């Protein structure tokens, strides 16, 4: 399931304007700040005010566009990896710093990424930057950065002033998830009279935990480094009701393809059988492994994959039959007189 976040870079204290209207230039300096968009159909999730994101902007002179700039025209850095956060006055900007729109007819093209949390901290071996020819780029190790929700904004090209989009003044910054998410549900196929089921663990075996991301020229993420990862390790009773796994350990994974049966989902559970006439139940621990490719050919960027797990038993039945009598003789004749 793809979720998006919409953020806007807005001018302070500007009058409302119609959809897609570019605000006219004036003799004052127009400040670039960032405002979180309200919830709309285009942006079903609001960007949390406790989050931060990193922003870049590149300048092109008047007459140049990002996609059709002349040979030899190199975009110049204008804003370089500044951390944007929510301010007490309700705006989003770098604390203690102000940026302004160019006034010579030049344009700005914006890039941004977020980790969907209150900082941009990553463990050693992971990190992201930006360049005009590769966009947002870098590496992330999810074994060292568990459940980090790496998001990248769509490129906001050739902006010269704040715009009004969905009643928001500013530069639209549409964040999209760039990793994959996994969820599991559990149930039994019927109500068993003397047996109870409990989930113990779900693991994903031999899945990639390291990814190299590049936004340009063609967006992609290259997976590497396989590792067993625990999706859940909490005991949960399994009933006939389809129920999401309630305690999850690792839910975010590197996008990757499953060309063979090496990567697997491993499920460990117990079956407790109440024995009539006995005070000691029989407890079985069962482990099952299944290739992920039997369910999904890939985990793609920005999508959530749901494994619906159904648990069942093979019923014991009887096949009664009677062996025919086998005649046995002594081999001698008994004379009865």
My answer on whether 145 and 187 are in the same domain is no
Residue 26: give the domain boundaries: 4-177
- Whole-angstrom Cα distance, residue 96 to residue 188? 57
Label residue 198 exposed, middle or buried (CB < 10 Å: 0-12, 13-18, 19+).
Answer: middle
- Whole-angstrom Cα distance, residue 331 to residue 92? 107
Say which CATH number the domain at 306 has: 2.60.40
In a domain, 320, yes or no: no
- Whole-angstrom Cα distance, residue 88 to residue 68? 40
My answer on whether 289 and 226 are in the same domain is yes
Tokens found for residue 272: 């407790």
In a domain, 51, yes or no: yes
In a domain, 26, yes or no: yes
In a domain, 325, yes or no: no
Bridge partner residues of 211 (DSSP): 140, 223
- Up-side HSE of residue 128: CA atoms within 13 Å toward CB? 31
Q: Which of 177, 196, 229 is the last residue of a domain?
A: 177
My answer on whether 121 and 256 are in the same domain is no
My answer on whether 156 and 198 are in the same domain is no
Q: Which of 127, 156, 177 is the last residue of a domain?
A: 177
């002179």: which residue's tokens?
61
Into how many domains does the chain fold? 2
Q: Which of 134, 155, 177 is the last residue of a domain?
A: 177
Q: 176 with 302: CB under 8 angstroms? A: yes
- Whole-angstrom Cα distance, residue 157 to residue 135? 12
My answer on whether 187 and 289 are in the same domain is yes
Measuring CA to CA, how many Å separate 210 from each of 111, 116, 175, 297, 322? Answer: 23, 19, 21, 19, 64
In a domain, 319, yes or no: no
In a domain, 133, yes or no: yes
My answer on whether 187 and 293 are in the same domain is yes
My answer on whether 172 and 304 are in the same domain is no
Label residue 311 exposed, middle or buried (CB < 10 Å: 0-12, 13-18, 19+).
Answer: buried
Bridge partner residues of 93 (DSSP): 85
pLDDT in 10s for each residue of the chain, 337 residues: 445 444 444 333 333 333 333 333 343 457 776 544 444 344 457 778 899 999 999 999 999 999 998 888 999 999 999 998 887 876 778 899 989 999 999 999 999 999 999 999 999 899 999 999 999 999 999 999 999 999 999 999 999 887 765 555 667 778 899 999 999 999 999 999 899 999 999 999 999 999 999 999 999 999 999 999 999 999 999 999 999 999 999 999 999 999 999 999 999 999 999 888 888 999 999 999 999 999 999 999 999 999 999 999 988 888 889 989 888 877 777 777 7
- Whole-angstrom Cα distance, residue 212 to residue 134? 12
My answer on whether 167 and 189 are in the same domain is no
In a domain, 322, yes or no: no
Torsion of CA 318, 324, 325, 329, to 10 degrees: -140
My answer on whether 167 and 86 are in the same domain is yes
In a domain, 333, yes or no: no
Distance in Å from the first CA to the final CA of the chain: 97
My answer on whether 171 and 225 are in the same domain is no
My answer on whether 15 and 144 are in the same domain is yes
Q: 198 with 270: CB under 8 angstroms? A: yes
My answer on whether 160 and 259 are in the same domain is no
């Amino acid at each position: 399931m793809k979720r998006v976040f919409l953020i806007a870079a807005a001018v302070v204290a500007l009058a409302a304007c119609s959809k897609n209207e570019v605000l006219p230039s004036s003799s004052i300096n127009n400040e670039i700040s960032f405002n979180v968009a309200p919830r709309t159909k285009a942006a079903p999730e609001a960007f949390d005010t406790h989050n931060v994101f990193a922003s870049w902007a590149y300048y092109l002179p008047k007459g140049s566009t990002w996609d059709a700039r002349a040979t030899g025209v190199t975009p110049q850095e204008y804003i370089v990896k500044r951390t944007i956060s929510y301010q007490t006055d309700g705006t989003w900007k770098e604390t203690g710093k102000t940026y302004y729109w160019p006034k010579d007819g030049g344009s700005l093209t914006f890039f941004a990424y977020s980790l969907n949390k209150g900082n941009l901290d990553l463990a050693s071996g992971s990190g992201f930057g930006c360049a005009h020819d590769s966009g947002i780029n870098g590496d992330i190790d999810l074994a060292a950065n568990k459940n980090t929700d790496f998001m990248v904004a769509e490129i906001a090209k050739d902006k010269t002033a704040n715009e009004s989009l969905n009643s928001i003044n500013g530069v639209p910054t549409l964040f999209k998830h760039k990793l994959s998410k996994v969820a599991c549900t559990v149930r039994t196929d019927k109500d068993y009279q003397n047996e109870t089921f409990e989930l113990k663990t779900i693991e994903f075996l031999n899945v990639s935990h390291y990814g190299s991301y590049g936004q340009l020229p063609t967006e992609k993420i290259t997976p590497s480094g396989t590792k067993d990862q625990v999706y859940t390790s909490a005991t949960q009773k399994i009933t006939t009701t389809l129920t999401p796994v309630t305690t999850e350990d690792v839910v975010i994974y590197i996008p990757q393809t499953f060309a063979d049966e090496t990567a697997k989902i491993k499920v460990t559970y117990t079956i407790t059988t109440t024995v009539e006439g006995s005070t000691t139940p029989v407890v079985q621990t069962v482990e099952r492994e299944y290739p992920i490719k039997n369910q999904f050919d890939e985990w793609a960027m920005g999508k959530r994959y749901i494994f619906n797990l159904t648990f069942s038993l093979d019923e014991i039945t009887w096949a009664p039959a009677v062996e025919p009598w086998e005649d046995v003789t002594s081999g001698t004749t008994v004379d009865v007189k």
